[in-house]
Amino acid sequence: MFARIYSIFKSRNREFLRDRASFTWNLLLPIVLMLGLSFAFNEDRNAYTVAVLQDGDDIVTEQHPFLSMRYIRFVATSDKEDALAKLSRHQLDMLVEFDTPPRYWVNPDSAKGHFVELALLQSSSTSPPMIEKEQILGDAVRYVDWVLPGILGMNMMFSCMFGVGYVIVRYRKNGFLKRLHATPLTSFEFISAQVLSRMVLIMCITAFVYTGTHLFLDTRMDGNYFTLFLVALVGALSMVSLGLVVSARVTSEELAGGLLNLINWPMMLLSGVWFSLEGAGSFAQNLAKIFPLTHVLNSARAVMLDGATLADVAPSLVALLGLSVVFFFIGSKIFRWHQY
Amino acid sequence: MTIALEARNLKKVYPGVVAVNGINFAVTEGICFGLLGPNGAGKTTTVEMIEGVTSPTAGEIFYYGEPAGKKFRQEVGIQFQNTALQDFLTVRETIEMFRSLYERKADIDDIIEQCSLGELLDRDNRKLSGGQRQRLLLAVALVNRPRIIFLDEPTTGLDPQARRNFWDLVQSIRAGGATIVLTTHYMDEAQVLCDEIAIMDAGKIIAQGAPDALLRKQYEGLIIELPLADITTDLNGVEHLVIENMGIVEVVTTDVSKSLQELAPHVTNLNHIKIRQPNLEDLFIDLTGHTLRD
């Protein structure tokens, strides 16, 4: 069995590596995106963002004049720890709570934090303002540091899903799968080989792009490389398996492309590839949790930007592994060799 | 005589269509067995059910007396009519990849020599001519030293020279002891290669046996052929007369001289008359009423 899996694995790798156009595209896309974004978003964010610690999503502006100020985006949050972590990374400019007693948290190293603090104090109706101040320390996270996991994850998503999904549909359509079916190769062996092949290739490409970006742009890495590797590995497995489900029975490349895009685009938009979903509604944030990419990006950012340990990201890894097992099982069960 | 392969009451029903309607046949070890029929007759479905790539609706397939199973899959070689191979792989890599899928393995150099692929080993699959590609597909079918080889219309689209080269190859494989199951549109191919044939039409086998025996059974004597346009008067009195759709009149006769004498008064140009042996195409047309290319 392993000899057969290895044989299909090897031939698929050769096919991919010799297809120079596809290979180059897979390699260049994330690099070009990273370089472009690093230049385009080199400046700090130009809007002020203040989190309001409260229950519920609706911010009642009447509770304090500060909440009616222009040019400040107010975001409701009930997760204090998460908000403080973001404040420490300069992803939020201030955290404020209008409970009793009213309090606010600000990062003294943040210039924008300083200005929203002034705005808060000037808007207060009492003199001196009756609001407690607390400080949170931490260095800013550049956009390029924040977006790197997103770019790598997005490239991984497209490569895994199209690299497996589209290729299997093409094999089915042109009769290559039918020819393999006439050999002792089982569907489990074939699928395993495809998954392994894509896993190895995407891990190599991701490692290459990450290393190059890290060296060239000096991106932030506060955590452990092994933990990050595990996040990428399990994430790739989940997305390859998802591609497998899509391609298990489809016989048309057009339909496969449509279905893959139907999954990929919402996943890309809602998983926080480019921007944080902080300001998005709770429905969108909850919906995002069903996507493997959301767990991959959250875990990767936690490792790279917050120094999260394996134990910290273990719940996400377990979720991704669970999704992989479910997808792989469904894909194997409904897999069809023939076009008709 | 050992029966290598046997199909019993094989049936395949698609929604609204009975593609194969309960056929039976047996293939003796070491022969070349031809399955003939027009498009839609059910021959490819039949072969694919035997090969195990399509599930029969009903019926059984036996391989050396046992239900066809894992052993069968290890010991048969298959060349489909339309098979795409992986892009960017060379001829050698393709053969090696398929060879590695089997427990039984042929000597790779023997296959390469047998299929005359020596000069093409490093060539990309996509850059092969039609004949070269068919030789590669046959090589792929031989990688496991198969006891039975299925060839599904292997020479369709090849030029006459490539077809004849392929026939030589098939004959050399058969001489090596393998059993061959061939489906083809070409009657000359079946006549040259097949020891036994089964003619299918509308999902059923309508004739089966050795080509010569089937022809002897159907036709006594030779066929006189002449254009309908050359006939001036009624042909009443001429025995065993058949008027073909294509404007050809045929007379099957055991006494050519007598038939020619009967025909002569009714024909304007005797130079257009042909006398020939009946062939499988005649047989097929007589049995089914349509040509093999229908």
Cβ of residue B102 closer than 8 Å to a chain A Cβ: yes
CB contact under 8 A, A184 and B73: yes
SS (H, E, C) chain B: CCEEEEEEEEEEEECCEEEEEEEEEEEECCCEEEEECCCCCCHHHHHHHHHCCCCCCEEEEEECCEECCHHHHHHEEEECCCCCCCCCCEHHHHHHHHHCCCCCCCCHHHHHHHCCCHHHCCCEHHHCCHHHHHHHHHHHHCCCCCCEEEEECCCCCCCHHHHHHHHHHHHHHHHCCCEEEEEECCHHHHHHHCCEEEEEECCEEEEEECHHHHHHHHCCCEEEEEEHHHECCCCCCCCCEEECCCCEEEEEECCHHHHHHHHHHHECCHHHCEEECCCHHHHHHHHHCCCCCC
In the predicted structure, residue A134 carries a pLDDT above the cut 90: no
Distance from CA of B124 to the nearest CA of A (A): 11
Task: Establish if B242 belongs to a structural domain.
Answer: yes
Task: Establish if B282 belongs to a structural domain.
Answer: no
Distance from CA of B256 to the nearest CA of A (A): 51
Amino acid at B6: E
pLDDT computed for residue A164 by the predictor = 86
Mutation test of the interface with chain A: which of B101, B108, B138, B150, choosing the one with the most A Cβ atoms within 10 A?
B101
Task: Establish if B57 belongs to a structural domain.
Answer: yes
Task: Establish if B283 belongs to a structural domain.
Answer: no
The confidence band for A44, taking pLDDT boundaries of 50, 70 and 90, is very low
Task: Establish if B284 belongs to a structural domain.
Answer: no
pLDDT computed for residue A37 by the predictor = 63
Comparing CB atoms, the residue among B84, B94, B100 nearest residue A4 is B100
Residues B48 and B189 in one domain: yes
pLDDT computed for residue B6 by the predictor = 93
In the predicted structure, residue A31 carries a pLDDT above the cut 70: yes
Closest CA to B272 of B240, B235, B230: B230
CB pairs A-B closer than 8 Å = 73
CB contact under 8 A, B53 and A337: yes
| Total domains, chain B | 2
| A54-68 pLDDT, tens digit each | 888 788 888 888 888
**Which residues in B lie closer than 8 A to residue A181 (C-beta atoms)?**
52-53
In the predicted structure, residue A128 carries a pLDDT above the cut 70: no
Q: Which has the minimum average pLDDT: A30-44, A325-339, B39-53, B186-200?
A: A30-44
pLDDT computed for residue B146 by the predictor = 92
**Which residues in A lie closer than 8 A to residue B87 (C-beta atoms)?**
15, 18-19
Residues B181 and B122 in one domain: yes
Residues B239 and B267 in one domain: yes
Rounded average pLDDT over A96-101: 84
Task: Establish if B288 belongs to a structural domain.
Answer: no
* pLDDT > 90: percent of chain A: 21
The whole-chain average pLDDT of chain A stands at 84
**Which residues in B lie closer than 8 A to residue A14 (C-beta atoms)?**
86, 88-89, 93
Distance from CA of A180 to the nearest CA of B (A): 8
| Domains contained in chain A, CATH given | 2-40+142-334 (no CATH), 48-135 (3.40.190)
Query: Is the previous residue joined to B265 through a cis bond, with omega within 30 degrees of 0?
Result: no
Q: Which residues of chain B have pLDDT under 50?
A: 292-294
pLDDT computed for residue B98 by the predictor = 93
Residues B27 and B169 in one domain: yes
CB contact under 8 A, A19 and B88: yes
pLDDT computed for residue B293 by the predictor = 47
CATH number at residue B18: 3.40.50.300
| B212-267 pLDDT, tens digit each | 888 888 888 888 888 888 877 777 666 666 656 577 888 888 888 888 888 888 88
Backbone Cα Rg of chain A: 24
Comparing CB atoms, the residue among A6, A176, A184 nearest residue B86 is A176
Residues B229 and B106 in one domain: no
Q: Is the interface score ipTM higher than 0.85?
A: no
Residues B27 and B167 in one domain: yes
Task: Establish if B293 belongs to a structural domain.
Answer: no
Residues B270 and B186 in one domain: no
Distance from CA of B98 to the nearest CA of A (A): 8
Closest CA to B42 of B57, B27, B62, B28: B57
Residues B143 and B166 in one domain: yes
CB contact under 8 A, B53 and A18: no
pLDDT computed for residue B290 by the predictor = 61
Comparing CB atoms, the residue among A7, A171, A182 nearest residue B97 is A7
Comparing CB atoms, the residue among A14, A176, A181 nearest residue B84 is A176
Domain span at residue B29 reads 3-211
CB contact under 8 A, A176 and B97: no
Cβ of residue B103 closer than 8 Å to a chain A Cβ: yes
Residues B52 and B170 in one domain: yes
Residues B198 and B255 in one domain: no
Task: Establish if B292 belongs to a structural domain.
Answer: no
pLDDT computed for residue A87 by the predictor = 87
Residues B35 and B120 in one domain: yes
pTM, two decimals, is 0.73
Cβ of residue B70 closer than 8 Å to a chain A Cβ: yes
CB contact under 8 A, B88 and A12: no
Residues B14 and B102 in one domain: yes
CB contact under 8 A, B97 and A10: yes
